[in-house]
Structure 1
Amino acid sequence: MIKGLVLAAGTSSLMASPALAATGPFFSLKNTDFIVLLAFILFVGVLFYFKVPTLLAGMLDKRAEGIKSELDEARSLREEAQTLLASYERKQKDVQDQADRIVAAAKQEAETAAEQARADLAKSLERRIAAAEEQIDSAQAAAIRDVRDQSITIAIAAARDVIAKQMTAADANNLIDESIAVVEAKLH
């Protein structure tokens, strides 16, 4: 039943449409197509009378000029941004070059400092070896002196014992007199 109502409503709406209502001669006020044509012509006339197309054209021209100026500004901003980007890229390259030079100089200084440290270490070792050799020589000389002094002391003691056993009182007095004479001769 609903199908029947929908079908009936659909066909009745087709019969009441304005296209089907325009029957009869075209240039009649009873013809809706003619009335619509007259209203459209009148509407277009009113638009031309009030200069709406020129107003619309002016508004469109202003809008076009605004868009053109925005595009020009965008182009100039883009060129400025590209210039700044190129400037920053140059600065970055310069900074990178400077950093590379600093690193190279630091490496060179480090190598020079390492060579200097090696040379200083070699000199220090030579000085320490020389000082150790001097200490050894000094200790050796001291040991030789100590041995000589002890051997002299022992020899003197042995000679004293031998002389004391072999010497008489007259020989001792003669030796004392000779020694005094030698000392007087050397002092005067």
Structure 2
Amino acid sequence: MTPMSLRLTATLLALAAATPAAAATKNIFSSEFYKLSNTDFIVLIAFIVFIGVLIYFKVPAMIGGMLDKRAAGIQSELDEARALREEAQTLLASYERKQREVQEQADRIVAQAKESAKESAEQAKADLEKSIERRLKAAEDQIASAEAAAVKQVRDEAARVAVNAAGDVIQKQLSDAKAAILVDDAIATVKAKLH
């Protein structure tokens, strides 16, 4: 018998001794008590037989075994719950660590994006300044080219007018032979200066 079934048997015997029939009778040792006409005696015998049948069929041991099984089941459920709690705490710590890592990575990405945007803005500003300088240089070159072309055109026109005027003056003042020589020299000089 297990300790639990022994305790249960002792409890049942104590209950038998403390039955209402035994408590109601003034003296259980008198001969009047043990007569079959006394209902208290009959109830006491029935109760003792009932307790005997329970002990014979090992009901206290079965009840003790069932209680032991139930206690073992509860203990195993408690152990499983404790293990699940520890596993949940481990998972929670793991997820919190991963969340911190992801947050740190996101912060690094944002910082890199800000730095990259700042560098891109500075590069765009430098590129814009260079582009403006190139356009100004191109405009200045075009102005200088147009100015040089205008100066050349004015010189060419002045040379043509001077040649015509010189030709008119020479024609009026020189003879035909001398004029032809001067004209040829002037044309050669103008040709040399124009090319």
Q: TM-score range by the shorter chain?
A: 0.7 to 0.9
Could you tell me which residue of structure 1 aligns to residue 27 of structure 2? none
1:164 aligns with 2:175: no
> Is residue 111 of structure 2 the alignment partner of residue 107 of structure 1?
no
Using CA pairs under 8 Å that are at least 6 residues apart, name the structure with larger relative contact order, 1 or 2: 2
Q: Output the amino acid matched with 2:53.
A: V
- Aligned in 2, Cα 1:173/1:33: closer, same or farther, shift over 3 Å? same
Instruction: Tell me the distance in 2 between the aligned counterparts of 1:64 and 1:176.
Output: 140
- Per-residue deviation, 1:167: 1.7
Gaps of 5+ in 2: 1-31, 190-195
CA distance in 2, matches of 1:43, 1:122: 111
User: 2:93 aligned with 1:86, yes or no?
Assistant: yes
The answer for the alignment partner of 1:123 in structure 2 is 130
Shift of 1:36: 2.3
Q: TM-score, normalised by structure 1?
A: 0.75
Separation in structure 2 between the aligned mates of residue 30 and residue 161 of structure 1, nearest angstrom:
183
User: Does 108-117 or 150-159 show the bigger shift?
Assistant: 150-159
Please state how far the C-alpha of 1:153 moved relative to its aligned partner: 1.1
**Percent of paired sites with the same residue:** 65
> 1:35 and 1:85 mapped to 2: Cα distance?
67
Confirm whether residue 52 of structure 1 aligns to residue 67 of structure 2: no
Amino acid in structure 2 at the alignment position of 1:54: A
Are positions 1:137 and 2:150 aligned together? no
RMSD over aligned Cα, in angstroms?
2.4
Cα distance change of structure 1 residues 174 and 142 upon mapping to structure 2, 3 Å threshold: closer
Matched, 1:77 2:78: no
60, 67, 71: which one pairs with 1:64? 71
Could you tell me how far apart the structure 2 residues matched to 1:176 and 1:153 are? Answer: 13
In the TM superposition, 1:138-157 aligns within 5 A as 138-157=145-164
Q: State the 4+ residue runs in structure 1 displaced beyond 6 angstroms.
A: none
Q: Provide the C-alpha distance between the structure 1 equivalents of 2:137 and 2:36, rounded to a whole number of angstroms.
A: 137
- Mark the runs of 5 or more structure 1 residues left unpaired by the alignment: 1-24, 184-188
Q: TM-score w.r.t. structure 2 length?
A: 0.73
